[in-house]
Structure 1
Amino acid sequence: MTASVHDFVERLAAAETGSACTNFFDDSVPANARRRDNLSIYLEEMLGRAPKVLLVGEAPGFRGMRITGVPFTNRSILEGPANGFGLFGPGKGYVLPPDAAGVPAEPTATVMWQVLAELEFLPLLWSAFPWHPHLPGQPLSNRTPTPAEAALGAPFRQALVDLFEIQSVVAVGNVAHRSLQRSGLEVPKVRHPSHGGRSGFKRGLEQLLSAGMQA
């Protein structure tokens, strides 16, 4: 593991996120060590792929990155056969933590990777708020991060932009777009792939790629 990836993951794990959020990388839960390892594997692998585009979503869901530690993934993606990019699947080193057992797969992650494979487009994936916001006292729920919470994620997004020498940042959905705007970034937005947004998400990426966005 490179020092930069290690330092990034350790800073992510040490962040104070508040009572209505779960930092699923911190040291308080033994299973989180698996999630830290999974994220490190993903980032190291992506460094070798040298993506020039960063897709930024809203926040991890309790059936997705909250379980796996990897942006826009679910247990089926990490456990299943290797996908078209060869990122996941057997032999890649990902291990699901014990508390992932029985958790249904988040459908948004599946749609995301299906569309990216169809477009043969492999960006780096991340979230404006890279921890799990939930309703108070209901850790198995999702909610929109507040502007103040999303601001906590800005330095981590910028660290990835610097580490990967990202040339283009794209917001996935309205919440992510507003978060990036509050950070002073004017970036293009594509439809979020959830809730019937698959075709709009794909069409938005196609338009950006045809307009010259470097993959």
Structure 2
Amino acid sequence: MASMKSLQLLARSRRHPCAFLLIVQILGMLLYPMIETTPAGHVAFNLFGIVVLNLTVYMVRRTPGLAWISASIAVPVTVLLLLQMVFSLPQLVPWSAGLEALFYFYAAGSLVAYMMGDRRATTDELFAAGATFTLLAWAFTHLFVLIQALQPGTFAAAVNPEAARTWTELNYLSFALLSSTGIGDVIPLSPQARAVASVEMFVGLIYLAAVVARLIGFTVQAPQR
């Protein structure tokens, strides 16, 4: 029975890789705050990041994007994350964060091309809309991590304003900006951080207006397949 359920889950993940990626990312966001303050939690999150990288590369293969490009970015990111886990090298954080941001931006762009490639809204494309939003939020989160690593103290918050912001705090800021629901209690202080925050708000508005609204229109016009 367990093996049958595993096979069914595998089949569904192949039919709807975007849904599987979306679920994994949401689970990561919910679970990571519980462990991110511990050394073991940092290792676990890096391992989780490697899993997400591999899932995203597989997902890109289903889009007009080129899988070899995403894989060529994912490989050095994986090496950098492994080095950070094994040798605790904080100086590698800017490099891994920058490459991860590039990787997720490329994956999000590939999904947008996938959704814009026809004039119908399939079930997988609807899941892709959610996965793309999450990928964009993660991409900007890693940009914030990069800026913070290069300019310590560039983000402030109501709790421990002088401390470096955690990944969860920066991810919360990213989702708030991308969804245009506010800025929360994490505030960018440097001109560079504010510039990136402004770009993220613009990207979020364009994505919702141009991509999500288009899919919703197709969903209303015709039944899903």
Q: Under a length normalisation based on structure 2, what TM-score does the superposition of the two structures give?
A: 0.29
Q: Under a length normalisation based on structure 1, what TM-score does the superposition of the two structures give?
A: 0.30
Q: Considering fraction of residues, name the structure with more strand.
A: 1
Q: Considering fraction of residues, name the structure with more helix.
A: 2
